[in-house]
Amino acid sequence: MSIMRLGRVQLRVMDLDKAVDYYTHIIGLEETGREDGKVYLKAWDEYDHHSVILQEADSPGIEHFAFKVSSEDELAKYEKRIEQFGLTISRVSKGTRLKEGEAIRCVLPTGHHMELYHEIEKLGTATGTLNPHPWPENLRGIAPHRLDHCLLTGDDVENVTRFFVEALDFGQSEKIMTVDGETMIGSFLFTTNTAHDVAFIKGPDAKLHHAAFFVDNFYDVLKAADILTRRDVNIEVTPTRHGITRGQTIYFFDPSGNRNEAFTSGYMTFKDFPTITWTEDKIGQGIFYHRRELTESFVN
Ligand code: CA
Ligand code: FE
């Protein structure tokens, strides 16, 4: 696959110092750079320079998210495909962001800003690539392996799905349909072999629902709950299972109110994975398999 993975998310935070403290000590990311009032971070198991950028702003949310493409040629190919699909493209020049080359930026049918890029400096990991130990010493906080996916809200779930599938070669692992089968209200999309790399739920345009980090197993989701309780972080949903993706999960909030998830497992996907359908009357079970209903806060 030439669109390799969700490479980064740039989050808007209201107090940069508080946010950096939370993302480094509680999530347990590593700060890798600062420039122009932005802080760059990566998870311990990520090789590239950063996967999260924090930007001070007057309201929380997502400034943009970006997928890493396998080569500059592939980047040019997808630039054409995005134009052919009819989205407006702009170019982000090399050096706009720390340790990154040129990126292409577009506005999705849901109003989100998305970028594709290839060039980024590799920092490597503390365990290295020669006879590595399974994890580095001195991990802090939840210490996820990597950024896993974003769930975004928007009105035009149908067209944003068509864009990812037709223009960017993503697969759709799952969808949520109204009971009459007329309207798609949820869409889960993958370019890796995981259950989802980005997903959309019907709701207000251009908003972040959550950014998710991948941990090893369900015990690490439970340990995340322990760490969040010890640090008095607001937990929205205690450890449970998703029907959709079959992953295990916990939801909580950063100091600005951006929802985060620690996520693990879920099935593998392949190019020929069929799209699983959930009907809206079973959405509670789809999202929270045991509780079988959505919490009030989760849909707001
Ligand atoms: Ca994923
Ligand atoms: Fe999620």
Give distance in angstroms: CA of 38 to centre of ligand 2.
25
Among residues 50, 78, 75, which one has the least CA distance to residue 169?
A: 78
**The predicted structure's pLDDT at residue 130:** 98
**The predicted structure's pLDDT at residue 299:** 86
pLDDT reading at 154 higher than 70: yes
The single residue of 49, 112, 118, 242 carrying the catalytic annotation is 242
pLDDT reading at 152 higher than 70: yes
Confidence bin at 296 (pLDDT 50/70/90): confident
**The predicted structure's pLDDT at residue 85:** 98
pLDDT in tens, 10-67: 999 999 999 999 999 999 999 999 999 999 999 999 999 999 999 999 999 999 999 9
- 67 in the Ramachandran plot: left (φ > 0), alpha (ψ -120 to 50) or beta? beta
CA neighbours closer than 13 Å in the CB half-sphere of residue 143: 12
Q: How many CB atoms lie within 10 A of CB 67?
A: 21
Segment 248-253 mean pLDDT: 98
pLDDT reading at 1 higher than 60: no
The single residue of 40, 251, 289, 296 carrying the catalytic annotation is 251
By DSSP bridging, strand 103-107 and strand 89-92 are: antiparallel
**CA-to-CA distance for 60 and 260, rounded, in angstroms?**
12
pLDDT in tens, 127-146: 999 999 999 999 999 999 99
Segment 115-119 mean pLDDT: 98
Active site residue 149: yes
**The predicted structure's pLDDT at residue 3:** 98
Active site residue 145: no
Give distance in angstroms: CA of 250 to centre of ligand 2.
9
Give distance in angstroms: CA of 5 to centre of ligand 1.
8
**CA-to-CA distance for 197 and 174, rounded, in angstroms?**
12
Active site residue 219: no
pLDDT averaged over the chain? 97
**The predicted structure's pLDDT at residue 241:** 98
**The predicted structure's pLDDT at residue 131:** 98
Integer angstrom CA distances of residue 86 from 76, 103, 162: 16, 18, 12
Which amino acid does the sequence have at 97?
Answer: R
Phi, psi at 255, each rounded to 5°: -60, -20
**The predicted structure's pLDDT at residue 261:** 98
**The predicted structure's pLDDT at residue 122:** 98
Confidence bin at 185 (pLDDT 50/70/90): very high
**The predicted structure's pLDDT at residue 33:** 98
Enter the pTM of the model. Answer: 0.97
pLDDT in tens, 274-283: 999 999 999 9
Q: How many CB atoms lie within 10 A of CB 71?
A: 12
In sequence order, what are the residues at sequence separation of 6 or more whose Cβ sits closer than 8 angstroms to the Cβ of residue 211? 9, 11, 52, 62, 147, 149, 150, 258, 259, 260, 261
Integer angstrom CA distances of residue 109 from 210, 222, 289: 19, 36, 30
pLDDT in tens, 167-184: 999 999 999 999 999 999
By DSSP bridging, strand 259-265 and strand 247-253 are: antiparallel
Give distance in angstroms: CA of 265 to centre of ligand 1.
10
